[in-house]
Structure 1
Amino acid sequence: MKRSLLVLLLIGLVGCGSTPTTNDETKNWSAQKIYAEAKDMLNSGSYDKSIKLFETLEARYPYGRYAQQAQLEVAYAYYKDNEPVSAVAACDRFIKLHPNHPNVDYAYYLKGLANFTEDQSLFARIADQDMTERDPRSANSSFESFRELSTRFPNSKYTPDAIARMKYLVDALAWHEVHVAQYYYKRGAYIAAVNRAQYALVHYPQAPANELGLAIMVRAYDAMGTNDLRDDALRVLQKNFPASKYVNGNFDRKKPWWRFWEL
């Protein structure tokens, strides 16, 4: 008897769980109405609700002009809702489906912005995190999106801001490499320190971080006893950063002043 009651109870629960929802107020809405409501939600800051409506619109009316716009709007909604991974995925999808769309330049720009926003956690807390634990992939992805935008759409209204952000990203990526070099130097890993400083010098030649990078190379080469390479790095430092605090003083091989740099 008890077993029979248990079976009936389980069947009842399964039945309740499988009952379809009937109170979807959007079921009779046109594509235009769903889009308008989704935009209102987006503009009012109700991002999660706007995302649901945009996705409902695309699922219900997949071939209309509102569906294309919804794909782009949902990317922006994810971006505003601090969901950069979803925003990037939505941008990639739009670019793949509509490579010749009049607003595809905005998709590239928004993709760059989403990665740029995610990147802020990478570079904004330099003192709070071990530099070697950071992953600069978001910064690189952001740079590539902005680069593709500025290359493919030089006259886009989004390109000037993209170029400005690219400059920031180059500087930030260079600082990332140099701080990793500094981390290695302080732990006596001199070859690793030189390699990371050289990477920044080669890939980001105009970055201000290279002043410190070259100073680290001089110190690391000196610590390894490779004097020729040390002197070469010192000459490059003096030539490119003549006013640097690292080149103030007289060069004295018997008592090298760079050993007193605070790195």
Structure 2
Amino acid sequence: MKKILIASCVALVLTGCANKGTSVDKDAQITQSWTVQQLYTEAQDDLNGKNYTRAVKLYDILQSRFPNGRYAQQAQLDKAYAHYRDAEPAKALAELDSFEKKYPKHENLDYVFYLRGLVAFNEDTSFVTKLASQDWADRDQKANREAYGHFNTLITRWPDSKYAPDARDRMSKLVVAFAGNEMAIARYYLNRGAYVAAANRAQNVIQHYQNTPFTEEALAILAASYDKLGQTQLSQDTQRVLLSNFPQSQFSEGWKSNDIPWWRYWK
């Protein structure tokens, strides 16, 4: 009786393995007689339908059966995009790196850099929607700079690329992120009495990120830092620049009337 039970168990295990293998190879069997165009069309349908796992599998089958030609090349790019949309950035970047090595002069190389930029840009998926309220000190500046670098390469090498306008728009948002990060650090130093460090961060915003919404506050922090450092003339000069450029600034109220302490703005 024991032998029969053991044999039955073994048979069940083998049957399970066989069924599993059949499931895994189902797409390969179904598509066995398909042309390269049929495979690509089916994969595109899955990609557009957000069935990224199956799309990637079909692209793999296509590349395996038809390794040469434009369909195989496009399949690799589409596979990278599928990984990107499926929140698998490492796999997406690996496909893009592989594609560039294989085809260093490919006509779609601009897209490679564009997609690389998107992968880094969307490291924090809430970035765009929280642009105004984001705590910039917590934002991954390494990802920001990588995204900016990829987009910059794109618009420098392919200024007329169809991806260039969107890349420029995203670069503008990234510049705001850089400035916001500097301001978050400047506030941190100011509130902790590190006035030299606060002044340096504020100066960096004024010098390098003048066209962002943070210039006004940077001038205010710079004036406040100079004041606490005993640099009265520099503080007054900075206040005049603030009043000249932002006459309605909330930060200038205290200096206009001389009765509102500067530090209330950052507490």
Same fold (TM over 0.5): yes
Structure 2 distance, partners of 1:228, 1:235, is 11
- Cα distance, 1:69 vs. partner? 0.5
Task: Note if 1:40 corresponds to 2:42.
Answer: no
The answer (yes or no) to whether the contact 2:190–2:198 under 8 Å persists in 1 is: yes
Residue matched to 2:155:
150
Query: 2:254 & 2:224 partners in 1: Cα distance?
Result: 15
Tell me whether 1:162 sits opposite 2:156 in the alignment: no
Distance of aligned partners of 1:187 and 1:13 in 2 relative to their CA distance in 1, 3 Å threshold: farther
1:178 CA displacement: 0.8
Contact conserved, 2:205 with 2:215, CA < 8 A, in 1? yes
Q: What is the CA–CA distance in structure 2 between the aligned matches of 1:29 and 1:194, rounded to whole Å?
A: 66
Which residue matches 2:3?
none
Question: 258, 262, 266: which is aligned to 1:259?
Answer: 262
Change (3 A) 1:189 1:72: same
Structure 2 vs 1, CA of residues 164 and 219 (structure 1 numbering), >3 Å: closer, same or farther?
same
Q: 1:91 aligns with which of 87, 96, 105?
A: 96
Normalized against structure 1, the TM-score is what? 0.78
Select the residue among 68, 76, 86 that pairs with 1:71.
76
- Report which stretch shifted further, 178-187 or 41-50: 178-187
Stretches of structure 1 lacking an aligned partner (at least 5 in a row): 1-5
RMSD of aligned residue pairs (Cα, Å): 3.6
Do residues 57 (structure 1) and 26 (structure 2) align? no
**1:132-211 alignment runs, 5 A limit:** 132-211=137-216
Find the aligned partners of 2:54 and 2:225 in 1 and give their Cα distance: 56
Q: Cα offset for 1:70?
A: 0.8
Shift of 1:73: 0.6
SS at match of 1:262: helix
Q: Which runs of 5+ in 2 are unaligned?
A: 1-5
Structure 1: how far apart are the matches of 2:150 and 2:218?
A: 27
Aligned residue type for 1:162: A
Note the alpha carbon deviations across 1:126-156, whole angstroms, 9 max, x for none: 7988643432122222222221111111111
Give the TM-score of the pair, scaled to structure 2: 0.77
Consecutive aligned runs of 4 or more in structure 1 exceeding 6 Å deviation: 16-20, 126-129
Which residue of structure 2 aligns with residue 226 of structure 1? Answer: 231
